[in-house]
Amino acid sequence: MTTPLWTSRDAATATGGTATIDWSATGISIDTRSLEKGDLFIALAGPNFNGHDFVDAAFQAGAAAALVARKESLKERPGLVSDDTLEAMRALGAAARARTGAKIAAITGSVGKTGTKEALAHILCAQGLTGYSKNSLNNHLGVPLSAARLPASSAFGVFEIGMNHAGEITPLVSLVRPHVAVVTAIASAHREFFDTVEDIARAKGEIFSGIDGGTAIINRDTEFFPLLSGMAQDAGAGAVVSFGRHEDSDMRLIECRSDVTGNAIEARWRGDALSYHVEQPGVHWASNSLAVLAAADAMGANLEKAAADLATIPALRGRGAVDVIPWGEGTIRLIDDSYNASPESMSAALKTLGHMQPEGGRRVAIIGDMLELGDTSRTAHAELKDHIEKNDVDTVYLAGTEMNALAEVLDSDRVAATAETAEALLPAVLSGLRTGDVITVKASNGTGLGRIVAALTDPETSIRATNGD
């Protein structure tokens, strides 16, 4: 029998709400489209929706109960009534954190935080029950939801914490109260909302505010390491652990050999040699993996097993997953990095493409707008030209209006097609790809290049390509 995550009594105690009928739930959902049988459905109200309109759908999908602000929404069904469902969800998160003896990690950064979170969760799952943020649940809704989902018996918890404004991380990290806080890297993402990159670093450094004697793990290669280390110490960190290529790094990268299968890494952990393989394409995984192993060690996990398990990380859709797709008389290889983009991560993606060796085809970049760059946007897009040329990218497809700045400076022979939207670009992509091509798809999520990935990975698409349709 599955142990309940929440009972009506425990949830009522945590939230101060009123249970209508006794119930127990094995999970929590705020979206009926992904709700699983036995979940507690939380009816949140937002600017564009009201979860109370979906209570019936939640029960039809198998919800065990619903957390609502309007009792009439329950219609004599099991539930919990609270004046503010968002505050109630936060209260559930705080109660879940308080009742567990798990070692908790919180991860932030301009780039790499989701991959690092997924990798850390993966290796910890092999060493004990682990609760963690699914997908990119890293904001004022996602973090409380993820915390509320943490089983009381967990050995570990891993939470991703994001932001695009100063002050957003502090209340989230005060909720999860991590024993280990990780900053992966500092980059110019969200420049629209910050005057300088240093301001971004200070906002990311808020993650140390909830550490209370724990361990801060910081990228030693960033110029903001002294700033972040100082913030961690001022916040009461018991230890500061660094990672990176820098010779003074505690977890130091010595060598990274990249190929289509991933990265073979030689590192030193406080002077001791450490060799392992990361089954993910892209040299940025070298840095991510150092952070993962430093965090695992600080959380009391077996470091040797953790390093070995990095070779078994499952493909991360939208964040570097590789698909080999039948195409024409052979195949194409697709690197799906479509979920997010910044100048730094775009550079890393193009570098990864440059390491790939096409088999009779070309290196192809399907790239779209990098969003939230503010006044730096036009320059940042134009500067991608150097990375495209340096990494011998043969052909590019450009989606979005911001990419016009890149189209203006690129050799026209390299630009296969441009369009304002992913949908408008798709026909040119489908007709232009050739057998043997290696393709990277990269953009901010709002650009919608995931639709191109979906089309390319649809078996019907590859059948048409193979038949010459």
Looking up residue 302, the CATH number of its domain turns out to be 3.40.1190.10
pLDDT of residue 75: 92
pLDDT of residue 1: 55
Residue 94 lies in a domain: no
* Distance of alpha carbon 281 from alpha carbon 404, whole angstroms: 28
Residue 88 lies in a domain: no
Strands 330-337 and 321-327: antiparallel
Residue 454 lies in a domain: yes
pLDDT of residue 189: 65
pLDDT of residue 461: 65
Same domain, 60 and 169: no
Amino acid in position 185: A
Same domain, 333 and 424: yes
Q: Whole-prediction pTM value?
A: 0.84
Name the helix (H) or strand (E) containing 459.
helix 459-467
Residue with tokens 């953790």: 306
Q: Give DSSP secondary structure letters for 270-328.
A: TTEEEEEEE-SSSTHHHHHHHHHHHHHHHTT--HHHHHHHGGGPPP-TTTTEEEEEEET
**Domain range for 342:** 321-467
* Distance of alpha carbon 210 from alpha carbon 235, whole angstroms: 8
Same domain, 256 and 108: yes
Task: Tally the domains of the chain.
Answer: 3
Same domain, 299 and 396: no
Q: pLDDT 10s digit of each residue in the chain, 469 long?
A: 578 999 999 999 999 999 999 999 999 999 999 999 999 999 998 888 899 999 999 999 999 999 999 999 999 999 999 999 999 999 999 999 999 999 999 999 988 888 899 999 999 999 999 999 987 789 999 999 999 999 999 999 999 999 988 999 999 999 999 999 999 999 776 667 788 999 999 999 999 999 989 999 999 999 999 999 999 999 999 999 999 999 999 999 999 987 767 889 999 998 899 999 998 877 788 999 999 999 999 999 999 999 999 999 887 788 788 889 999 889 999 999 888 888 888 998 898 899 888 888 999 999 999 988 888 899 999 999 999 999 999 999 999 999 999 999 999 999 999 999 999 999 999 999 999 999 999 998 889 999 999 999 887 765 555 555 5
pLDDT of residue 60: 97
Same domain, 161 and 223: yes
Same domain, 336 and 435: yes
Helical H segments across 142-283, by residue range: 142-148, 169-176, 197-204, 225-234
Q: Are 105 and 182 in contact (CB under 8 A)?
A: yes
Domain stops at, among 22, 57, 83: 83
The DSSP output letter for 220 is: T
Residue 95 lies in a domain: no
Same domain, 144 and 201: yes
152 φ/ψ sector (left φ>0, alpha ψ -120 to 50, else beta): alpha
Same domain, 47 and 169: no
Same domain, 260 and 367: no
Same domain, 362 and 432: yes
Same domain, 222 and 351: no
Residue 33 lies in a domain: yes
pLDDT of residue 468: 55
pLDDT of residue 293: 98
